[in-house]
Amino acid sequence: MNNRRKIEPPGVTIQESIHFLKMTPTEFARRLDVNESFLNRLIAGEEPITSSLSERLEALTGSPSNFWKMLESKYRRSL
């Protein structure tokens, strides 16, 4: 039996950020310089957070780039 807690994709935190910033997903995607389809895949954990993307997330959300990279790393290791 595996007692490991399931790690959520960083997209859960991205969704929370969209809500906290009172943006629409469309506006968030535009400001992140990605299309909505990519944003949806990112939220679902289907797209990784790259260094470049983590820097853009930092600029948009105020959460440090290393925070986003840490979430991504933990998620990928849990798969």
Q: Is residue 2 part of a domain?
A: no
Number of domains into which the chain is organized: 1
pLDDT tens digit at each of 79 positions of the chain: 455 578 899 999 999 999 999 999 999 999 999 999 999 999 999 999 999 999 999 999 999 999 999 999 999 999 9
> Can you read off the two tokens belonging to residue 44?
């679902």
Q: Is residue 5 part of a domain?
A: no
Backbone angles phi, psi at 41, to 5 degrees: -70, -35
Q: What CATH number did the domain enclosing 70 receive?
A: 1.10.260.40
pTM for this prediction: 0.90
Q: Is residue 62 part of a domain?
A: yes
Q: Which domain covers residue 49, as residue numbers?
A: 10-78
Q: Is residue 55 part of a domain?
A: yes
Q: Is residue 4 part of a domain?
A: no
